[in-house]
Amino acid sequence: MELPSFLVTAFVAAMVSAFGSGLLSTFVVLRRASFTSEAFAHIAFAGMAFALLAGLPYGAVTFLFVAAVAFTVGFASSRMAVAEVNLTTIFLAVSMATGVLLLSVNDGFTPDIADYLFGNILLVGESDLYVLAVLALIDLAWLAVFFRAMYYTAYNEDAAGVYRIPTRLVTTSFLVLLACNVVVAVKIAGVVMITAGLVLPGTIALLVTRRILAAHVVAVLVSLGATMGGFLLSYTGDLPAGPLIVVTQFGVFVLVLAGRGLLRK
Amino acid sequence: MIEVRGVSLRIGATAVLEDVSFVLADGDFTAILGPNGAGKSTLLRILLGQIPEAAGHVLYDGVPARDWLREHHVGYLPQREVVPRMFPGTAADIVRLGLLACRGAFSRLPADSARRVRQALEMTGAAHLERRAIDALSGGELQRVLLARAIVGGSRYLFLDEPEAGVDSQQIIEFYSLLSRLNSEGRTILLVSHDINVILKTVSSVLCLNRTLHCHTAAELVSAEVVQKTWGEVLRLVDKHF
């Protein structure tokens, strides 16, 4: 049986995206950046609304907008004596407010924005696939360079700073990379589900192993496995793939928790 | 040698440190004594380059701290290091940070890193903890592991902020005898402590600090008058020779 090409593209895109989010997931969890990733997805809203109003390509504009916010949060929060989480929350609220204001200037609600907010894997084109692949490679390269520095920054930023880890560079680059992954993946998963892909694999991995390298491998495997499983369920049950991927990940999470509980007994 | 010249820090209207100056010669074993809120930990953090907004000058071997710390590191044992719950890693992983510091964050670890980590843990009496999960360490065990991290990189300088926190009295004695050994091997040690009894028996000189410096003298010369000046009427030096 031959599958339609758009379905194959969608599947490959989802797998590449799952690979990227799986790579970052462990550090998202260890650095307690799950709220940040959720916030970035919402902050993208203002960028999208502005691009729509100005008639600019909203993929690129959103990308630049969220990356700029991530850079500001990472670089400026320590200098401004405002906690990172508070600065992120401020940007989230202002971005949502600005997005709503901009859209109210525009006539009516736009279906494209709805797709962007809730995601639609079947809309992914070949060019998106290239962007996803390049970003996954950047994720890998970043991890290769920053792995140890990020590990110690996530452990204790003060101690890492004293021991000559450039914590501001590490944090800022991580947040910018996270923002890029969120913006790119948002088209597939939508803002509502993006956080699950960045948090659940890492959480599951850290329940399974206490070794940092192994945790990254497990997180990627969980992310890929759940995406494959979600797609399979979607294809056989004629249901939307995105939510099924999240539900599959959650199922693995529950199973792992139950397994740990049984092992303790 | 570390020179501290006219270091001051204000946070809002509050003066945390005022015009603090002193010199630490190579091989010194110096304690900073003072009451809570005297600025002791803050002074250590300024020396470590962690509070760039402080006024004044800190020089390591005649080089401004900011430049010196780009190339070198100081072994540091913080007052309390928060270990995140369920954080993946062993005591050896945490000690390895000290090795990374002497080579740069993005460098490869030395080929003999495992041996050096083990050696440092042995020195601090924590060899048996090497593979123990970091969030399963007790307060005293963690202090030993963090001390191993502080010495593993071979830094000439060792700063310790209340190293006796969470350590029982027997361990404190062992801990300070270890510090004496490290000092006799050539390390310059600066430590913050509240434990005057142990300090006056161990260190060679004392800085009495309460926002400003009240004395910088050999440990045996610490007088009741200086102690009262530093702590106020709260504390009296009864018998420093026990």
- Radius of gyration for chain A, computed over Cα atoms and rounded to the nearest angstrom: 19
Residue in A148, A155, A209 nearest the CB of B84:
A155
Nearest C-alpha in A relative to B50: A162
Tell me, yes or no, if B74 comes closer than 8 A to chain A by beta carbon. Answer: yes
Q: To the nearest whole number, what is the mean pLDDT of chain A?
A: 86
Nearest C-alpha in A relative to B153: A163
Q: Which range marks the domain in which residue A238 is found?
A: 5-259
Tell me, yes or no, if B78 comes closer than 8 A to chain A by beta carbon. Answer: yes
Tens of pLDDT, residue by residue over A42-66, are: 888 888 888 878 888 877 888 888 8
> Total domain count for chain A?
1
Mean pLDDT of B72-83: 88
Tens of pLDDT, residue by residue over A88-138, are: 889 889 988 888 888 787 765 555 566 666 667 777 778 888 888 999 999
Tens of pLDDT, residue by residue over B121-165, are: 998 889 999 999 998 888 888 888 999 999 999 899 999 998 877
Q: Are B207 and B215 in contact (CB under 8 A)?
A: yes
In a domain, B136, yes or no: yes
Are B105 and A164 in contact (CB < 8 Å)? yes
Residue A173 banded pLDDT, cuts 50, 70, 90:
very high
Tell me, yes or no, if B94 comes closer than 8 A to chain A by beta carbon. Answer: yes
Q: Which range marks the domain in which residue B149 is found?
A: 75-154
In a domain, A264, yes or no: no
In a domain, B36, yes or no: no
In a domain, B182, yes or no: no
Residue in A146, A158, A163 nearest the CB of B100:
A163
Q: What is the ipTM of this complex?
A: 0.85
> Total domain count for chain B?
1
- Chain B residue numbers touching A81 (CB-CB < 8 A): none
Question: Chain A: nearest CA to B164, how far in angstroms?
Answer: 18
In a domain, A218, yes or no: yes
| Distances, alpha carbon B35 to alpha carbons B32, B41, B196, B208, B209, in Å | 10, 11, 11, 9, 8
In a domain, A160, yes or no: yes
In a domain, B200, yes or no: no
In a domain, B168, yes or no: no
Are B88 and A165 in contact (CB < 8 Å)? no
d(CA A218, CA A23): 9
- Chain A residue numbers touching B69 (CB-CB < 8 A): 164
Q: Give me the CATH number covering residue A19.
A: 1.10.3470.10
Tens of pLDDT, residue by residue over B19-76, are: 999 999 999 999 998 888 888 999 999 999 989 889 999 999 999 999 999 888 999 9
In a domain, A176, yes or no: yes
Are A162 and B84 in contact (CB < 8 Å)? no
Mean pLDDT of B182-196: 89
Q: What is the pLDDT of residue B93?
A: 94
Nearest of B2, B13, B5, B43 to residue B210 by alpha carbon:
B43
In a domain, B222, yes or no: no
In a domain, A265, yes or no: no
Record the tokens describing residue B236, joined without a space.
């009296």
